[in-house]
Structure 1
Amino acid sequence: MNILKKFIYSILALQEKILTKKLGKHLETSSANKTSKTVLASNVTLTLNAETEKNKEIVLNSVSEIVSGVKNNPYMLLEYIKTHGTKVVKLPNADKILSLIGEDEGLVCELCGSEAFYINIFTDSGFSFKSKPMFILRDGEIEPYYMLHQFYKWFALYKGLPGFDYNSQKLFKKYLNSPDTTGLENHTLEEMVGLKEAIARDNEAIDFTVNYAKSIDGSKNVLNKIKREGSAGI
């Protein structure tokens, strides 16, 4: 995972705050997800997210215990995912198959439309224009820190943290993969909040992975071990 992405995420988060203030009078007055609510009133943004913050702490502590218990063995983490109801699929050319719909190996969140139909066909998940979250990887060895980053995101999804819905992830990938942020100002408050949550979830996964890697390998080796962007294989 490319650490430079953290800088991009920070810029996006700042842009989201600025744009939300600018567009407050044009947007819906409130937006809510399962664990938080954002309200706009008189150019002031109020976010009620006590439950989200509580769940973030639960995710952090739980993943720390799980990873320590299996010594960050990627295959044991994958087995944990499988036993908790998420489909795990190994495909010979997973990276190429996923790249055609703008996805990377690892956690693939819910998809809709032709993208969902496409991924359902390749993973033997039926004929539907909506897919469930699943883990998709190539055959072969799994890079431990890449897997750790993906596992953290999966656990956050599993515990119900926001930012993993189809629209939020679609916006996240759109602006993550392009330096052009033209059009951000046209999104609704709900879409902007969803984007902010998606950015936050990926940031949290990166922070956990970096800190864990430092504790195991020391800071000098961290970047070389986790900057393999978009690749689960060694």
Structure 2
Amino acid sequence: MMSERRRGGRTLLVTLAALAAGSCFLPIPRAMRPPEPVASDSAAARQDSIARAAARRDSILAAEREAARQDSIARAQREAARQDSIARAQREAARQDSIARAAARRDSILAAEREAARRDSLEAARRDSLIAAARRDSIASIEAARAAAAAELAELRESGPVFVPHDEAPRLVWDTEAEAALATTLLPVIRGERLDPNISASIWLLVRTDGRVEATAIQTASGDGAFDAAAVRAARGLLFAPALRGGRVAPVWVLREISLLMR
């Protein structure tokens, strides 16, 4: 009895052991499998890694876009600065060119003014030289004419009354002063000598180039010595427009009848 129980116990143990061993090879339904904690942690880590990579990629892309934007802004700023520098350089070049043109125009005007002043100075010097030469010539001509007239006057005075060719004879300048001078010279003699008021004497007069009488010579006496002397004195005080010869004044002898009523 005891043996049987022992055999039954061994059989049960063997059966249980076999069952236990066989259970290791039996498939376990998925629903009945226990959770796999290791596999779940790996997926989360992978998802987290993917998320971090995506975030890093997005950050890199954002940084690249920002860098590109900043680079574009920098390029635009550099281009604007370059354009501004070019514009400033052009303005400066235009200003310098304007200054140069103004300086050249000023220099041209100054040079023209200096040239005009030089020409004016030369012209003034030439004109002054011509005027001085003309004045010298005129003075020399006047002196020569005076010398010639003086020589001719001296010769005529020495020769006495003689006909001298001329274009225009001397003309008596008759006015109230000349008439009064003649009357005051002749009238007292006529009254004092009780002479005929129509008495007269023909007298040669040497008329100078200034119209004054240089010398006298009685051609026909009046018959009264006192009247002849008064007539000579009166004749010396007469004034004439001088004779002309060749367009110039010249001394000549002219015969005039001196009387109280002469004209």
Q: Which of the two has higher C-alpha Rg?
A: 2
The TM-score range, normalised by the shorter chain, is: under 0.3
> What TM-score do the two structures reach when normalised by structure 2?
0.20
**Bigger helix share:** 2
Larger RCO (alpha carbons 8 Å, 6+ apart): 1
